[in-house]
Amino acid sequence: MAETHHFDVSRLFGVKGYVAVVTGGGSGIGLMAAQALAQNGAKVYITGRRMEALEAAAKSHDPSHVGQIIPVGPCDVTKKDDLEKLVAQMQEKEKYIHLLVCNAGVSGPKAEPKHKDAADLKKELWEKESVEQWGQTFEVDVTSVYFTTVAFLPLLQAGTRAQGGPLEPFAPSVITISSMSGLMRHAQGHFSYNAAKGATVHLSKLMSAEFQKAGIRRREPEEPPGAREDPDKEHVPLMRAGREEEMGMTVLYLARNQYVNGEIIAVDGGVLNVLAGR
């Protein structure tokens, strides 16, 4: 039986000594994840396409705190050469990483299916979306998640041989930031984005099952309402956008709880309780 002091919050969710990499870490949910991890002791490398955004994000973190936010890159996660260069950079800096957060993503084109007349509906969707836009959305939101994870497998596995913190044995982790849009039947005018996020959900489950033999576990939180744009308050029971701290709580929970593997956690304010899901 655990003693009461074993449930101290710093012991349960502290990540002191952890080494993490966050893609798309210069803003939005990626930066939220980096801040939550760094504030609780982790050394967090953030990457993305624009070094100026990464450097600005790193400077916003108070260096007097326990953890660090360090820009690395630049890296376009849709390019294998960039991913190889990023991994090489990380191998020069660290012998292993404990956590990879795949956050980079795009919202894709928007076309509202608001017309009842089929001809008008076709015109709206046909003219406002393109095959190229759909391809780009899937390339960033799905394909890059796969190749980013594969690129970092050796550094992740190396973490199994290192001290993992107060809870042992330690399993290196991958967190994918998806969206509740990948779980609902309401398109929100984002057919390509919602379809891509649905694919990301299943991809994460596939990788969780297949990569566990390498000692790597995977979980996936869904972004909160308001992460991409103002939420439709009519569909959010809490009647507000998700807060940055609420996403940070989820990242810390998934980073530390070794008994969670291959799970999808919807940080949605209750949206999926009122909108049809799968």
Neighbours of 121 (CB within 10 A): 15
Establish whether the linkage from the previous residue to 113 is cis, with ω within 30° of 0.
Answer: no
Among candidate residues 179, 193, 204, 208, the one labeled active-site is 193
Phi and psi for 34 in degrees, rounded to 5? -60, -40
Whether 183 contacts 264, CB under 8 Å: yes
Active site residue 114: no
Report the alpha-carbon distance of residue 269 to residue 240 in Å, rounded. 8
The SS3 assignment for 184 reads strand
Report the alpha-carbon distance of residue 201 to residue 176 in Å, rounded. 9
Active site residue 123: no
Among candidate residues 144, 173, 178, 208, the one labeled active-site is 178
Active site residue 193: yes
Can you give the three-state secondary structure of 209-278, one letter per residue? HHHHHHCCEEEEEEECCCCCCCCCHHHCCCCCCCCHHHHHHHHHHHHHCCCCCCCEEECCCCHHHHCCEC
Among candidate residues 96, 197, 204, 208, the one labeled active-site is 197
Residues tagged active-site = 178, 193, 197
